[in-house]
Chains A and B, each alone.
Chain A
């Protein structure tokens, strides 16, 4: 066999993701500073500057925590349990074999006891990675389809998507939390102070409210855009890894036909999964608020390979 003609270079993807991580953290930090400043101004006019370090501290702590423990949190939330040695040997063989093809250490394997077919990968780098599959995925897919899905998930691991996704998920959570506090501050302290201040305070309040509404939306949009784009990429590099795009396409078709929602998934973890686990957005076009690209489009791209 000749050397592979087309191969997405995983090392380039890793480098791109390193920049993406830096850019994302910068943008999120900017959003947090704006939000923190606005919160401070509402609480006490001129006190906005004091809130900036607090907001930065909060995002720093949550980013660090998610970097080191986020994968365990996500796995626990999904009620995944680690496979015992000798359990599900076919799955383990597939994971080991495809890991060799990508040149990464085989990740730890978790099982979610749910009949909805789905899977996700998480962790901070290939050495600290886990992939979780549902019981339904093992039962409903045949070997080549399973290989397609695992190859997709391992691509996320190999090119460090998992780290970006983990950080984004937690940072979006932090912003949501902060804007939540802000609304509470309007309800209790902020409103009264605003009246004392008169007209000038009113403008500050309006800006603050606008920020409180807008930042979580912007943050969510960034998260969704980031996750949709990388699903296509992982499909492509997964198909290149197995050399068999129809396997992944057929898995996608089966999962699309399966109308069951995955109970352990929620809005925060949905974007991590192989296919949208909530089954709430069956649209033909890339919608602004979808966590995943439409399956029909993913299949079309695979078949065009």
Chain B
């Protein structure tokens, strides 16, 4: 009988440790899945830009600087997605958001443009995409926070150190329009 008690205790500890380990794996997996959501929406924003520029060009051809800024920011964002760190990517996407905001401000000055259905659709799509980026980012950051908290607190931090779970980075876009996205309207 005496030998049984330590055996039971050891078995319980093993089960407990396995549970903790699996929890860490699950949380890291959630962070990665959440990242995919952001990625999809950022790419959707890139895809909207060429059409948007074409449409605005038709009514405001001489605003070339604005168009170029957007195009450049878009290329930079695409390059950062290929090779950059998450931080660089966040910076590039923030810059793209700023350039797009400028483009919208410019478009405000052309009443005929505001009446074009295609422009309205594109604007609505863009707005919707930026909403989705904001929500995807929020979900991602929430998951990162839960995961990072877990690998820094007792007892999971011991396991995290043993099995090489490292902290994930937040995706911070110091945002211009997105924070108040629900109220932004330019139609």
Which A residues contact B (CB, under 8 angstroms)? 1-4, 7, 9, 93, 96-98, 100-103, 143-144, 147, 242, 244, 247
User: Assuming the A-B contacts A102-B139, A103-B33, A103-B34, are A4 and B132 also in contact, with contact meaning beta carbons closer than 8 angstroms in the complex?
Assistant: no
Other than the known A4-B142, A100-B37, A103-B30, what 5 A-B pairs have Cβ atoms closer than 8 Å? A3-B141, A3-B142, A96-B132, A97-B135, A98-B135
Chain B residues with CB under 8 Å of A98's CB are 135
B132–A97 touching, CB < 8 Å: yes
A100–B142 touching, CB < 8 Å: no
At the interface, is chain B mostly helix, strand, loop or mixed? helix
Which B residues contact A (CB, under 8 angstroms)? 30, 33-34, 37, 41, 128, 131-132, 135-136, 138-139, 141-146, 170, 172-175, 179, 182-183
**Within the complex, what minimum Cβ distance (angstroms) separates B41 from chain A?**
7
**Residue in chain B with minimal CB distance to A93:** B128
**Residue in chain B with minimal CB distance to A104:** B139
Q: Can you list 29 A-B pairs, Cβ within 8 angstroms, ordered by A?
A: A1-B172, A1-B173, A1-B179, A3-B141, A3-B145, A4-B141, A4-B142, A4-B145, A7-B142, A96-B132, A97-B131, A97-B132, A98-B135, A100-B37, A100-B41, A100-B132, A100-B139, A101-B135, A101-B136, A102-B139, A103-B30, A103-B33, A103-B34, A103-B143, A143-B182, A144-B182, A144-B183, A244-B182, A247-B182
Chain B residues with CB under 8 Å of A93's CB are 128, 131
**Within the complex, what minimum Cβ distance (angstroms) separates A132 from chain B?**
22
At the interface, is chain A mostly helix, strand, loop or mixed? helix
With the chains together, A100 CA to B128 CA distance in Å?
A: 12
A147–B182 touching, CB < 8 Å: yes
**Residue in chain A with minimal CB distance to B23:** A11
Chain B residues with CB under 8 Å of A101's CB are 135-136, 138-139
Chain B residues with CB under 8 Å of A1's CB are 172-175, 179
Chain A residues with CB under 8 Å of B131's CB are 93, 97
User: Assuming the A-B contacts A1-B172, A96-B132, A97-B131, are A103 and B182 also in contact, with contact meaning beta carbons closer than 8 angstroms in the complex?
Assistant: no
With the chains together, A96 CA to B170 CA distance in Å?
A: 23
Chain B residues with CB under 8 Å of A247's CB are 182
Chain B residues with CB under 8 Å of A3's CB are 141-142, 144-145, 170
Chain B residues with CB under 8 Å of A97's CB are 128, 131-132, 135
Among A9, A97, A247, the one with the most B-chain Cβ atoms within 10 Å of its Cβ is: A97
Chain A residues with CB under 8 Å of B175's CB are 1
Chain A residues with CB under 8 Å of B174's CB are 1
**Within the complex, what minimum Cβ distance (angstroms) separates B172 from chain A?**
7
**Within the complex, what minimum Cβ distance (angstroms) separates A111 from chain B?**
20
A103–B37 touching, CB < 8 Å: yes
With the chains together, A154 CA to B182 CA distance in Å?
A: 18
With the chains together, A183 CA to B150 CA distance in Å?
A: 56
**Within the complex, what minimum Cβ distance (angstroms) separates B174 from chain A?**
8
